[in-house]
Amino acid sequence: MSFAASISTIGLLLAAIAVFSAIEALIPLHARGEWSKRHLIPNLALTFLTFATNLVFNIPLLLGIAWLQSKGWGLFNAYAFPPFVAFLGAIMVLDLAWYATHVSMHKVPGMWRFHAVHHSDPFVDVTTTIRQHPGESVIRYVYLAVFAFAFGVSPAAFAVYRIWSALHGLFEHSNVKLPQWLDTAITVVFSSPNMHKVHHSRDQHFTDRNYTNIFSIWDRLGGTFTPSRYGRNITYGLDGRDAPSQQSALGLLIGPFRLDRHVAGSLRQHNPQNRSV
Ligand SMILES: [Zn+2]
Ligand SMILES: [Zn+2]
């Protein structure tokens, strides 16, 4: 993905955010409240920061992918798979990488510090999608690189996955109320809005479920799937993270480096020995 293509992708994502915002206004899952206004500026600030960091990280990753392809290294480069199989396989492998990254960020305290920035949003809507700390971006790119290099993912498949992944993320974070039968039907193959809402619960029993990004099969195989009907009445956010000083753009950026009782509290909340169920 060239620099110009990356800029075009950012334009596409901003347009998609506007479209999903309009749909949220038409068929909201929850009424807009105080937090839906207060989180707007911090969420957009972190979104633009993520766009900027991804522009930088894409360059070495794509150079590495192209170099491995020229050498014939990596599973899909080393063997003569039919092009469609190699392309679809690459998409699935990258989505598995996303799932593995996500589970790791919930299990490893040092990674959770960064991912907690995404989970601390007290109101989930389309602007929550790319509310991501730069530290989380680094973690995600390391996992993506390991999987992309090992499997010999093509530059085209990588570009398609990144755009599909971002658009699907906007869809599943949107504060939209689909008919429950439709939301459930989507989860046969994909993650749905209510399926991902389960993952944003304050109750860790639900937070440790539904990690997947695009394909629901990873949660089903990993034993972490919870039906989407549980996502209709979720209380979002993280206990101990609601103070205005922690919810500002600056507060979110320095949050992972704080050693105060609020961070300790949310780490305790994510200690497997303290699960409520
Ligand atoms: Zn998560
Ligand atoms: Zn999320």
Torsion of CA 210, 212, 218, 219, to 10 degrees: 0
CA 201 – ligand 2 centroid, Å: 10
114-156 pLDDT per residue, tens: 999 999 999 999 999 999 999 999 999 999 999 999 999 999 9
CA 73 – ligand 2 centroid, Å: 34
CA 114 – ligand 1 centroid, Å: 10
Nearest to 175 by CA among 128, 211, 220, 132: 128
CB 94 within 8 A of CB 147: yes
Per DSSP, 230 falls in state G
pLDDT band at 274 (very low <50, low <70, confident <90, very high): very low
CA-based R_g, the chain, Å: 18
pLDDT band at 2 (very low <50, low <70, confident <90, very high): low
pLDDT band at 260 (very low <50, low <70, confident <90, very high): low
Neighbours of 40 (CB within 10 A): 13
Question: Which of 71-75, 110-114, 207-211, 231-235 comes out lowest in average pLDDT?
Answer: 71-75
CB 133 within 8 A of CB 46: yes
CA 16 – ligand 2 centroid, Å: 17
Mean pLDDT, range 55-59, rounded to an integer: 91
95-105 pLDDT per residue, tens: 999 999 999 99
CA 115 – ligand 1 centroid, Å: 7
Mean pLDDT, range 147-172, rounded to an integer: 96
Tell me: pLDDT of 266 over 90.
no
Q: Give the mean pLDDT of the chain.
A: 92
The percentage of residues in the chain with a pLDDT greater than 90, rounded to a whole number, is 84
CA 173 – ligand 2 centroid, Å: 6
Tell me: pLDDT of 264 over 90.
no
CA 56 – ligand 2 centroid, Å: 23
203-215 pLDDT per residue, tens: 999 999 999 999 9
CB 42 within 8 A of CB 131: yes
Q: Determine the 3-state secondary structure of 179 from DSSP.
A: coil
CA 128 – ligand 2 centroid, Å: 7
CB 43 within 8 A of CB 128: yes
Ligand nearest to the CA of 115: 1
Token pair of 163 as six digits: 């755009």
Tell me: pLDDT of 52 over 80.
yes
The model's pTM: 0.91
Q: Determine the 3-state secondary structure of 18 from DSSP.
A: helix
Residue 234, CA distances (Å) to 3, 199, 230 in order: 39, 9, 8
Tell me: pLDDT of 24 over 90.
yes
Q: Which of residues 151 and 258 earns the better pLDDT score?
A: 151
